Amino acid sequence: MGAVRALNPMGYPPEVQQVQMAPRFDTLRGKTVYLVDARFDDSDIFMQQMEAWFRDNRPDVNAVYVAKKGIYTQPDVELFTRIREEGAAAVVGVGH
């Protein structure tokens, strides 16, 4: 029998820079929260349900459902700029 060549499947993970989380708000009252469908399986359904929850339970919060362009791994610069300029926070749905 001949020699068998095996490769290590672990690979080389990229270097990751940690970023500190944003500070919490005392309240969401009067703020705009973007609910972002990141185009991952069923995230649209979840984000729309969350928007309905805010409408029914927290009418003092402006919850806005938006769907990003492209697939979930690609940035949507136009949308992210809009969220930074007009929103106080964002929830990004990544499906199940």
pLDDT for position 48: 95
Answer yes or no: is pLDDT of 52 > 80: yes
Beta strands in the chain (DSSP E): 32-37, 62-67, 89-93
- Is the pLDDT at 96 greater than 80? The verdict is no
Tens of pLDDT, residues 36-48: 999 888 889 999 9
Residues across the chain: 96
Band the pLDDT of 93: cuts 50, 70, 90.
confident
pTM, rounded to two decimals: 0.76
Rounded to the nearest angstrom, the gap between the alpha carbon of residue 55 and the centroid of all alpha carbons in its chain is 20
pLDDT at 67: 95
- Which residues lie closer than 8 Å to 91 by C-beta, 6 or more apart? 33, 34, 35, 36, 47, 50
Q: Which residue has the higher pLDDT, 90 or 10?
A: 90
